[in-house]
């Protein structure tokens, strides 16, 4: 029996130290490489882990939180496509931490403790070509529900530029949870900014076509650097709009964020395109979650019209999100997971960068499946008893989508790709309209201006006899057509009014 651990030790090599683990040799490398990037002075982690004393003091806590896999924060399951920014501990590392804490956290020989990794100071990629900063601070109250707030950073360059990297730097690190960055050409913000007496504005209804998401920042993120040969356009006159998510900390905090932008010398060889299922965080998908529903599900598919390459994925929902899964049914007949977040946690919104670009040939069918839990079993549910929740931009509304950052394999096929994505958005809207109880039997009569706009677009596709309304036969064939494309046209709970989704 005595030889068992020895054999295990031999089999597992250095993963299992023969003797009791100690800080210098075994624990410091794990903590310094997986935790200290956030847990050091000036970063978002609540306490530093830069020395034996600092780590040993929290030993019990570290053991519990790593065992629960709450830290380091990382949500995606392993798939066939590894991520370059993956942050997880191995089971052996977690066990080593437990053993060390059980053994009373011995220090070992201080001389063999590795030095701290070199962490960047200031701008990680050097001085940016352009720095923009909030001109007024935004005050986050001491407590209350999370806040989503938009801030505009005027840029307005006289010509188009290409951006190769972008870095977001929050001022009050502990209160900023994540941020979505857009280049915006709609310029609607000056009419909204500061209107409620506070810096920024709550909702931003600029059209989808006029804003390009350029980066997502979350606690512990590196600057967003696009892969070699990819850059995003900062159009002439465009401004930066940032949606920031704040999580109150117990005291008032004043946030002033700064953004650094790095330009590329030349336009990219391939154009970054965003494929979102369902589009615009599900605005057109009719998200309407009954109170108490433990598994409200939206499924949406798209078939790729050309060969593409995927380089990053991103999942987004609010408190009720539960599971996200994006699969690719390849023309070869094989099906692969691209992104699978089994246990969504609103607190951590990470961009998942693929280590290598994933080739997705023409004809690949991508399917996103998103599940929300609006029961009391969801410990993040902000309402008890639960309430029916619909799509909306406030943190207590819901959203949900999976985004895949892609480029066409051949730049000449970009127009075909964008046209297909646009058509897909229109079909999403159509399926939404046709799954309500007023499915345009009377045309646009009685609809609001917003709804009429949406309805007209739908009629444009399916009103074969051009009489301005859908006959029962037209309606049936439209629904069949949409179902064939993988859309759900079953009657939903919520009927009109519809948000002017296609206008986005």
Partner 1 sequence: MYRLVRIAAALLCATLACAQTPPAAPSKKIALHLFVLVDCPISRRLAPEFRRLCADYSPRGVGCTLVFVDPDTTPQEARKHLKEFSLESIPFVIDSRHELVRRAGATVTPEAAVLDAASRVLYLGRIDDSHVSWTRSRPPTRHDLRDALDAALAGRPVPRPRTDAIGCYISPLPDDSAKD
Which residues make up the interface to partner 1 (CB under 8 A)? 46-47, 56-61, 64-65, 68, 70, 73, 103-107, 142-143, 145, 174, 248-251, 319, 345, 347-348, 379-382, 384
SS (H, E, C) 469-483: CCCHHHHHHHHHHHH
Residue 37 interacts with, from partner 1, ligand HEC, none (CB under 5-8 Å by kind)? ligand HEC
**Rounded Cα–Cα distance for residues 262 and 118 (Å):** 22
Output the smallest distance, CB 184 to ligand HEC, in A: 28
Non-local (6+) Cβ contacts of 420 within 8 A are: 302, 304, 305, 306
Residue 72 interacts with, from partner 1, ligand HEC, none (CB under 5-8 Å by kind)? ligand HEC
Q: Does 56 bind ligand HEC (CB under 6 A)?
A: no
Q: Does 44 bind ligand HEC (CB under 6 A)?
A: yes
* CB-closest chain residue to ligand HEC: 220
Q: Does 380 bind ligand HEC (CB under 6 A)?
A: no
Find the part of the chain contacting ligand HEC (CB under 6 A) among 36-44, 182-190, 329-337, 481-489.
Answer: 36-44
CB 352 within 8 A of CB 311: no
What binding mask, one character per residue, do residues 84-123 give for ligand HEC by CB under 6 A, x or -? ---x-x----------------------------------
- Per DSSP, the residues of 410-454 read SGGGHHHHHHHHHHHHHHHHHHHHHTSS--STTTTTT--HHHHHH
Non-local (6+) Cβ contacts of 241 within 8 A are: 150, 151, 152, 153, 181, 182, 183, 184, 189, 204, 206, 211
Q: Which helix (H) or strand (E) segment is 298 a member of? A: strand 296-303
- Near ligand HEC by CB under 6 A: residue from 61, 110, 295, 491: 61
The three-class DSSP label of residue 100 is: helix
Residue 235 interacts with, from partner 1, ligand HEC, none (CB under 5-8 Å by kind)? none
Which lies closer to partner 1 via its Cβ, residue 57 or residue 213?
Answer: 57
What binding mask, one character per residue, do residues 65-84 give for ligand HEC by CB under 6 A, x or -? xx----xxx-----------
Q: Does 40 bind ligand HEC (CB under 6 A)?
A: no
Tokens 């939404």, located at residue: 432
Output the smallest distance, CB 317 to ligand HEC, in A: 19
Burial class (CB in 10 A: 0-12, 13-18, 19+), 449: exposed
Q: Does 38 bind ligand HEC (CB under 6 A)?
A: yes
Which lies closer to partner 1 via its Cβ, residue 8 or residue 61?
Answer: 61
Q: Does 417 bind ligand HEC (CB under 6 A)?
A: no
**Rounded Cα–Cα distance for residues 73 and 348 (Å):** 7
Output the smallest distance, CB 142 to ligand HEC, in A: 14
Q: Does 245 bind ligand HEC (CB under 6 A)?
A: no
Judged by CB under 6 A, the chain residues 176 through 235 that form the site for ligand HEC are 219-220
**Rounded Cα–Cα distance for residues 463 and 469 (Å):** 6
The three-class DSSP label of residue 369 is: strand
Query: Phi then psi for 279, rounded to 5 degrees?
Result: -70, 160
Residues that bind ligand HEC (CB under 6 A): 34-35, 37-39, 44-46, 58, 61-62, 65-66, 71-73, 87, 89, 219-220
């Amino acid at each position: 029996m005595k030889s068992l651990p020895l054999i295990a030790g031999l089999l597992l090599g250095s993963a299992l130290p023969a003797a009791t683990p100690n800080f210098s040799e075994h624990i410091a490398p794990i903590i310094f490489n997986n935790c200290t990037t956030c847990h050091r002075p000036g970063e978002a982690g609540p306490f530093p882990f830069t020395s034996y004393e600092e780590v040993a003091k929290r030993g019990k806590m570290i053991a519990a939180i790593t065992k629960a896999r709450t830290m380091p924060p990382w949500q995606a399951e392993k798939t066939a496509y590894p991520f370059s920014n993956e942050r997880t501990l191995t089971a052996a590392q977690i066990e080593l931490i437990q053993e060390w804490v059980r053994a009373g956290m011995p220090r070992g020989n201080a001389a063999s403790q590795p030095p701290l990794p070199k962490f960047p100071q200031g701008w990680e990629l050097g001085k940016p070509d352009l720095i923009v900063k909030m001109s007024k601070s935004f005050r986050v109250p001491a407590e209350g529900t999370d806040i989503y707030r938009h801030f505009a950073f005027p840029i307005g360059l006289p010509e188009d530029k290409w951006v190769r990297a972008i870095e977001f730097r929050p001022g009050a690190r502990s209160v900023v949870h994540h941020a979505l960055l857009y280049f915006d050409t709609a310029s609607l913000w000056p009419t909204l900014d500061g209107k409620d007496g506070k810096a920024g504005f709550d909702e931003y209804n600029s059209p989808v076509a006029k804003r390009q998401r350029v980066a997502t920042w979350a606690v512990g993120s590196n600057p967003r650097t696009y892969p070699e040969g990819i850059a995003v356009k900062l159009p002439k006159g465009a401004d930066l709009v940032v949606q920031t998510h704040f999580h109150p900390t117990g005291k008032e905090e004043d946030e002033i964020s700064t953004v650094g932008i790095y330009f590329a010398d030349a336009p990219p060889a391939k154009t970054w395109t965003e494929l979102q299922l369902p589009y615009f965080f599900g605005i057109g998908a009719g998200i309407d979650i009954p109170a108490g529903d433990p598994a409200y599900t939206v499924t949406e598919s798209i078939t790729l019209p050309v060969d593409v390459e995927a380089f990053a994925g991103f999942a987004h929902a609010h408190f009720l999100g539960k599971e996200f899964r994006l699969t690719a049914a390849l023309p070869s007949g094989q099906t692969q997971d691209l992104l699978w977040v089994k246990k969504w946690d609103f607190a951590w919104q990470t961009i998942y960068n693929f280590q290598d670009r994933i080739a997705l040939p023409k004809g690949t069918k991508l399917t996103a499946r998103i599940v929300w839990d609006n029961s009391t079993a969801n410990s993040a549910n902000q309402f008890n008893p639960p309430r029916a929740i619909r799509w909306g931009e406030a943190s207590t509304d819901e959203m949900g989508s999976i985004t895949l950052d892609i480029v066409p394999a051949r730049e000449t096929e970009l127009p075909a790709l964008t046209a297909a994505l646009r058509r897909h958005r229109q079909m999403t809207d159509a399926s939404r309209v046709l799954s309500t109880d007023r499915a345009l039997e009377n045309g646009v009569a009685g609809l609001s201006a917003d709804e009429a706009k949406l309805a007209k677009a739908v009629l444009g596709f399916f009103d074969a006899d051009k009489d301005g309304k859908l006959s029962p036969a037209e309606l049936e064939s439209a629904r069949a057509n949409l179902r064939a494309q993988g859309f759900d046209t079953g009657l939903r709970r919520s009927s009109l009014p519809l948000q002017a989704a296609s206008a986005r």
